[in-house]
Amino acid sequence: MKILIIRFSSLGDLIKTTALIERICHEADNFEIHFVTKIDFASLFTEDSRLSRLLILDKKAKKATRMKNWIRANTNDLIEQIKDTQYDLVIDAHNTIRSRYYCWKLRSCYKKLIRFKKSRLRKLLLFLFRIPAPAYFLDKRLFGLLDPLFGTSQKTYLPKLVIADDKIRDDLEKKHRPNWNSTIAIIPGAAWKNKELKHDFWKNFIQSIPDSYQIALIGGEDKREKFDIKNSRVTNYMGKLDLTQSIVFASTCFKAIGVDTGVSHAVEALGEDVALILGPTGLETGAYPSRPNSQIFERELFCRPCSKNGSSPCIWGLGQLKCLQFQPSTVAKQFLEDD
């Protein structure tokens, strides 16, 4: 069975989509998985032995590039490359205009199409009229797409990344020489600023952590200056590590804590617990840890969740979202006590 899975972004949702790959690997016979995603996240899948082919969308590519088991190309060239294969099943795990366009252009290349159904009305009623909504488990909804083929699964499949983490970890040790057993990773940045706590929160959080721990700040270059904290125990790795290195680094530390962002969820996909600080997002929007022993810090407010990704303005009109007004010392204490 040849299966094509389409999921372009975002990082957190891509991580959840790996639960779908896990189910196929455990329940399908004689399968071959081809996976389509954007170049921004391709590094997470280039070493994935579960995939027979990785198809990378690079809008800036002038011509298609082939290497080993992956192809990188712009939209039209990538579609032409995919057309070379006949698929038994195409799974549109994104359900956007772009993914629908791909499915339409490839309509002669597959026998069956399964499309992820988004709960737009449910979210609209929740955000505008505060009508309660059930928990939104994206990974379970995704691997549930296969129920018509395999029947209702009796097993829960967790998101899982397959990367060369041992090699990456060895490289990190040689270059940065971290003391993994006494280092706490902090992931403070997010694509949507309304998910982020302020600089002062993290500064006071670190001051509440015992001096025996070192602190590693993990994230992208665009957040480096915003969250740069002057403290002898703090090393700012933001922008110094690529995406895969950042995930492996955070997952290897003694503990990791972060906001609702892709790197936080990716730590879990490498088999490690994480602490999530949730603000404008929540369980009803798919913001949740996958592992049972991971921690959640959130405030019970009638107004949250207020958007699927933190994009809506706060109704309180405050400089800091009310849902993100946590006491740093309290969070630090509970974070360490729950070990």
Higher-confidence residue: 316 or 219?
A: 219
Q: What is the pLDDT of residue 6?
A: 98
328 in Cβ contact with 285 (< 8 Å) = no
Annotated domain spans of the chain: 2-150, 165-337
Higher-confidence residue: 82 or 309?
A: 82
Q: Please name the helix (run of DSSP H) or strand (run of DSSP E) that holds residue 15, with its range, or none.
A: helix 11-27
Q: pLDDT at residue 319 above 80?
A: no
Task: For domain 165-337, give its CATH number from 3.40.50.2000, 3.40.50.720, 3.30.540.10, 3.30.70.360.
Answer: 3.40.50.2000
Q: What is the pLDDT of residue 272?
A: 97
Q: Cβ of 8: how many Cβ atoms within 10 Å? A: 19
At residue 44 the predicted structure's pLDDT band, cuts being 50, 70 and 90, is very high
At residue 316 the predicted structure's pLDDT band, cuts being 50, 70 and 90, is confident
- Mean pLDDT (whole number) for 53-69: 94
| Segment among 70-84, 213-227, 294-308, 314-328 with least mean pLDDT | 314-328
Question: What CATH number does the domain located at 2-150 have?
Answer: 3.40.50.2000
What the block records as the tokens of 56 is 């990378």
Write out pLDDT tens, residues 171-187: 999 999 999 999 999 99
The structure tokens 């706590």 sit at 197
CATH topology identical between 2-150 and 165-337? yes
Q: Rounded to whole angstroms, how far apart are CA atoms 298 and 281?
A: 9
Q: What is the pLDDT of residue 125?
A: 87
Write out pLDDT tens, residues 95-148: 999 999 999 999 999 999 999 998 878 888 888 888 878 777 778 888 788 998
The contacts of residue 189 (CB under 8 Å, 6+ apart) are 196, 219, 220, 222, 223, 226, 227, 238, 259, 261
Q: What is the pLDDT of residue 301?
A: 93
At residue 318 the predicted structure's pLDDT band, cuts being 50, 70 and 90, is low
What the block records as the tokens of 85 is 């294969």
